[in-house]
Amino acid sequence: MLRKPCLLVALGLLAMLGCGGSSDSVKDDDSSSVRMFLDAYEDFCEPRLISRQFAAGKVPAKSELAKYAKYRLEVVGTPRVQGTTATAQVKLLDAKGNEVATKEWTLIKDGLAWKLENAPLP
């Protein structure tokens, strides 16, 4: 007799907690993925590699791509994710580590990978 009420309480708790991950945990995972992508910037900032990091149709002109190699970057705060779009504040630093500017970069999700959509430079 006691088993039935316990089972109902357990089912009620499961329903309140939900099954699987929440949308917040997915956003946290995506936010972490965006940060990891941007943290790897120095590995792909060379002109011949940076073009592959932009989404299709969003690659800047070749003359602009060469400018990315001049900067290091630091992600400021936590990237914001909204579905398949993310924005991140990035601090651009010169070769000596001096801050040159802070810009907002926009990324889009391409399959499982994040790609740059708009990455303005100073």
- Structurally, the chain folds into a number of domains equal to 1
Q: Does the pLDDT at position 11 exceed 80?
A: no
Considering the domain boundaries, does residue 111 fall inside one? yes
Q: Which whole number is the average pLDDT over 18-31?
A: 55
Express each pLDDT in 79-98 by its tens digit: 999 999 999 999 999 999 99
- The answer to the question of residue 90 being in a domain is yes
Report the candidate in 36, 42, 59 with the shortest Cα–Cα distance to residue 93.
42
Q: Please report whether residue 10 resides in a domain.
A: no
| CATH assignment of the domain containing 89 | 3.10.450.50
Residue 78, domain extent = 20-118
- 107: which 2 tokens? 């990324």
Specify the pTM.
Answer: 0.75
CB-count burial class (<10 Å; 0-12, 13-18, 19+) for 79: buried
Cβ neighbours of residue 33 under 8 Å, at least 6 residues apart? Answer: 114
User: Are residues 34 and 79 in contact, defined by beta-carbon separation less than 8 angstroms?
Assistant: yes
Instruction: Return the ∠ at Cα 58 (arms to 115 and 41), rounded to 5°.
Output: 40
On the question of pLDDT at 22 being above 50, the answer is no
